[in-house]
């Protein structure tokens, strides 16, 4: 049962005070978020509370889902970590966190403060490994017609979306808030959502899976920009072709003009591509963004050739045009009129095109949850919240989310990011305020906890906490650092 106060009891109704919605829950029913229910007239957190166990810390071996009786002694020896998943909430934290767990690590007394944070200030950063045009920067990203975020600055080989945030959760219509919350929750829990970008693509995205853009599943993340591709493969092309143009939405590379070509003793071949010349052999804006070659709207690569200069070009010149993933390629030979004529690609050239593909990584969608834990949540940890913030900045406190490592942003507050794939499945919930509920744990030495004004009278032994009937055991994800390790 939850130790939340039952603030009202009449006709077997209990009032949940785990969030500001204050659901009045009838016997046998659940509250609006389905996380709490009225069990035998008492308020209960219904989901299991996840304890991740590192068995035989000495060998580092993992044993997922231990079966049978489970003694506290075994756990202490093995290394158990009480995650915030299913721990319960105390928002707005006028009470200590649901679990403040004492344990030992390398003979040092440690404490982990465990809670489920209710985050109105939260969102997702999606990194979608594709060059395909998903929509203009700043364009609205919609789910079920509601704006849930926007397209933000593209990164190297990836399109980026910023979803959620307090404005979409609370600043628009009720429907916008609900759909935003639902979208975040699905993605956080590793589910798939369909998104549509104003003036751009529709796509299906899911953490750890290839994005599907306008119905086409993306296979490859590009090897690099056009210029980088020239740099990487110039030597391998040398002697087999006279010119290579790597078509890219951002930086199209032209071998014979490029520094890499110069290094190999090539002189400009006289094939001038459209767009703005940046530095030798590097061109911007050769076409519009799109779903064609190299993230451009190009379907016929010859359309990006502006002119062929007879002073430098010659009949018989061998030209390769290729995209940054190697998925699109064409081989041409200039005829007597200096017109590129398609020809069979020699095996040695095809081999390098293949190698571009071999050097591409699988295209994936990465989902990072970002939230601010610098508000009232801190009061569940200490009666003097600024000390928690300072202790995190001083690296005295390790912050984890469902046991997964987080990155805490510099500057004020406790703004953190976590890769949802490093977390156990279904680690997130929601409340209809609307806000996302996410697990968070603060681990530190017991002496440091005391020094920062921790709720010492609420500290419970690990061996005691793990006897809670709701506890569910799982194996520790061995790639995550052990949170109690200094």
Which residues of this protein are in contact with ligand SF4, per CB under 6 A? 16, 18-19, 21-23, 31-33, 35-36, 431-432
Contact of 436 with 188, CB cutoff 8 Å: yes
CB of residue 431 vs ligand SF4: minimum separation in angstroms?
A: 4
Contact of 363 with 216, CB cutoff 8 Å: no
CB of residue 85 vs ligand SF4: minimum separation in angstroms?
A: 15
CB of residue 32 vs ligand SF4: minimum separation in angstroms?
A: 4
Closest CB to ligand SF4 among 224 and 429? 429
C-alpha torsion sign, points 226, 232, 233, 239: positive
Closest CB to ligand SF4 among 117 and 270? 117
For the chain, helix, strand, coil in percent to 5 are: 20, 35, 45
Residues near 115 by beta carbon (within 8 Å), at least 6 away in sequence: 84, 87, 88, 89, 90, 97, 98, 99, 377, 380, 439, 440, 441
The CA distance from 158 to 364, in Å, is: 9
Contact of 398 with 111, CB cutoff 8 Å: no
CB of residue 50 vs ligand SF4: minimum separation in angstroms?
A: 18
* Cis, peptide link before residue 148, omega less than 30° from 0: no
CB of residue 45 vs ligand SF4: minimum separation in angstroms?
A: 9
- The residue assigned the tokens 């398609």 is 342
Alpha-carbon Rg of the chain, whole angstroms? 28
Closest CB to ligand SF4 among 33 and 388? 33
Closest CB to ligand SF4 among 33 and 440? 33
The CA distance from 78 to 357, in Å, is: 45
Closest CB to ligand SF4 among 36 and 81? 36
Q: In degrees rounded to 5, what are phi and psi of residue 158?
A: -140, 145
Cα 40 to Cα 6, 35, 114: the distances in Å are 13, 16, 26
Closest CB to ligand SF4 among 349 and 431? 431
Chain residue at closest Cβ approach to ligand SF4: 31
In order, the DSSP letters of 297-329 are: S-SSGGGGEEEE-TTT--TT-EEEEEETTSSSE
CB of residue 376 vs ligand SF4: minimum separation in angstroms?
A: 15
Closest CB to ligand SF4 among 12 and 300? 12
CB of residue 377 vs ligand SF4: minimum separation in angstroms?
A: 15
CA atoms within 13 A on the CB side of 221: 17
The CA distance from 477 to 298, in Å, is: 44
Closest CB to ligand SF4 among 115 and 158? 115
Closest CB to ligand SF4 among 36 and 283? 36
CB of residue 166 vs ligand SF4: minimum separation in angstroms?
A: 18
The CA distance from 128 to 224, in Å, is: 15
CB of residue 436 vs ligand SF4: minimum separation in angstroms?
A: 13
């Amino acid at each position: 049962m939850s130790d939340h106060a039952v603030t009202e009891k009449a006709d077997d109704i209990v009032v949940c005070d785990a969030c500001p919605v204050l659901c009045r829950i009838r016997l046998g029913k659940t509250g609006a978020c389905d996380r709490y229910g009225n069990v035998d007239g008492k308020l209960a957190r219904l989901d299991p509370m996840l304890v991740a166990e590192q068995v035989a810390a000495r060998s580092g071996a993992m044993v997922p889902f231990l079966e049978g009786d489970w003694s506290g002694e075994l756990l202490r020896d093995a290394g158990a970590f009480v995650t915030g998943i299913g721990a319960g909430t105390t928002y707005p934290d006028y009470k200590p966190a649901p679990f403040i767990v004492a344990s030992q690590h390398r003979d040092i007394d440690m404490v982990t403060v465990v809670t489920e944070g209710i985050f109105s200030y939260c969102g997702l950063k999606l990194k979608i490994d594709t060059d395909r045009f998903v929509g203009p920067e700043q364009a609205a990203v919609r789910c079920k017609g509601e704006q849930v975020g926007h397209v933000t600055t593209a990164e190297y080989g990836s399109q980026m979306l910023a979803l959620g945030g307090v404005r979409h959760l609370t600043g628009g219509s009720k429907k916008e808030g609900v759909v935003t919350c639902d979208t975040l929750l699905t993605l956080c829990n590793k589910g798939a959502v369909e998104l549509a970008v104003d003036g751009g693509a529709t796509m299906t995205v899911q953490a750890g899976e290839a994005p599907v853009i306008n119905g086409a599943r993306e296979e490859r993340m590009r090897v690099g920009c056009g210029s980088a591709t020239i740099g990487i493969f110039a030597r391998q092309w040398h002697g087999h072709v006279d010119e290579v143009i790597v078509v890219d939405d951002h930086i199209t590379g032209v071998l014979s003009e490029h520094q890499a070509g110069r290094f190999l003793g090539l002189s400009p071949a006289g094939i001038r591509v459209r767009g703005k010349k940046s530095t030798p052999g590097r061109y911007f804006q050769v076409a519009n963004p799109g779903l064609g070659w190299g993230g451009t709207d190009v379907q016929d690569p010859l359309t990006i050739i502006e002119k062929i200069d007879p002073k430098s070009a010659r009949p018989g010149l061998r030209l390769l045009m290729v995209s940054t993933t190697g998925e699109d390629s064409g081989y041409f030979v200039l005829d007597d009129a200096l017109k590129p004529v398609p020809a069979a690609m020699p095996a040695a050239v095809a081999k390098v095109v293949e190698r571009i593909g071999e050097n591409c990584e699988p295209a994936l969608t990465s989902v990072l949850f970002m939230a601010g834990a610098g508000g009232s949540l801190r009061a569940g940890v200490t009666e003097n919240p600024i000390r928690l913030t300072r202790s995190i900045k001083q690296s005295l406190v390790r912050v984890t989310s469902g046991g997964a490592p987080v990155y805490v942003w510099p500057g004020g507050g406790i703004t953190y990011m976590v890769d949802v794939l490093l977390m156990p499945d279904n680690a997130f919930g929601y409340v209809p305020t609307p806000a996302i509920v996410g697990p968070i744990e603060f681990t530190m030495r017991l002496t440091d906890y005391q020094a920062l004004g921790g709720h010492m009278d609420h500290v419970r032994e690990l061996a005691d906490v793990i006897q809670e009937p709701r506890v569910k055991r799982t194996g520790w994800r061995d790639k995550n650092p052990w949170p109690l390790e200094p």
